[in-house]
Every structure is written in structure tokens, then in C-alpha cells.
Amino acid sequence: MTSDITHDERIAVTVAAFEAAMGRFLARVEHTPEAVAETARPDGAWNVAGIAWHVAVTNEGFAGLVDGSVPLAKAPEPDFEETPFPEITALVPDQLEAPEKFHPPAGITKAEALARGRASQERLVRALRALPESRGLWTVKSILGQISLYQVGDWAVAHVTRHNAQAKRVAG
């Protein structure tokens, strides 16, 4: 973490960005008519309800990393330095295949996806706010490389933003 921002400030900025991104995303899903949100796509890609379910399940995974209920984070190596998150996201390909466990089930409804999305938002916000400073720089190996738990929050914001754009395209 850079010396010009405190732990509390970093958490506050991340939580605010995540809540804003989720607010926009959930509003988009909410305002998508059920017939559009739940209709299977002819190309087999996820519909809007499926995208929302995926975002929710991913948020739950992020929350588990941050709160320790998914015990994959480790104390950082002595020489660990965070790579600035914009440099990490610049390397992410446009098309990234989510692991199977993050794929939506067939027939997911908009209402089910929205409920899970709201609950996942609350869980991740709670986890971020409870993250002790002593664990903020703990690291996890991810598809983005070695990232800190602080950066898991950054990833959550970027992930929601990415899927909001996808939902916008899918909803037409």
C-alpha cells in the first residue's frame, strides 16, 4: 500500500466504488424486462439473469477470500509489492472464461439473481469493512496473478463494471 493513503481510506474508497458499481449493475438488471433478462440466448451466451447470478457468486467468492472463510490468502513474501491494479487489468483479455463453478445454472430467474446479487453485495461490503490492516496486503494467487486482498476489492469493482457493460449489450 502506498504511504499516501491509509488503510481506512483505502477501504472506504473501495467500498464506495463497489457499492456504486453494484448500484448501477443491479439497477440495469432490475429495469431489464423479465422476458429479456430470462430468455436463453441463441448463441448459448449468458442472458442478463445469468450474468447477474455470475456476478453474485463471484462476489461471494471475493468475500470469502477477504473474510478468510475461503482460506487461500497468505502473508505476503517480504519482497512483495503490489502491482498497480490498472497494470493488472490492462493484461486481462477481452474474453475471459470463468471457471465452471461461477457459471449460472439453467433457468435462473431475474428475481433469484437480483436477490443473490443484493446479498452478495452486502456480504462483500461487510468483509471489506472488517478487513484488518494486518491482512490487507496478504496475497492470493489468481487468474490475474499475485494480488493483495485490497486488490480483491479492486477486482470486484472491475468485475462488476465489466459485466454491467456485458448486460447492457445483452439487454440491447
Average pLDDT over residues 48-72: 98
Query: What are the CA-CA distances from residue 12 to residues 128, 153, 171 (Å)?
Result: 9, 11, 32
The DSSP line for 21-48 is HHHHHHHHHHHS-HHHHHSPPTTS---H
Average pLDDT over residues 5-18: 98
Percent of the chain beyond pLDDT 70? 98
Q: What is the pLDDT of residues 131-150, one digit of tens each?
A: 999 999 999 998 888 999 99
Spatial separation of the C-alpha atoms in residues 140 and 75, rounded to whole Å = 9
Stronger pLDDT, 89 or 156, i.e. the higher one: 156
Average pLDDT over residues 78-94: 87
- For all residues of the chain together, what is the average pLDDT? 94
pLDDT above 50 for 13:
yes
pLDDT above 60 for 4:
yes
Report residue 4 CA to chain centroid gap.
25
What pLDDT, on a 0 to 100 scale, did the predictor assign at position 1? 43
Domains in the chain and their CATH numbers? 7-171 (1.20.120.450)
pLDDT above 80 for 77:
yes
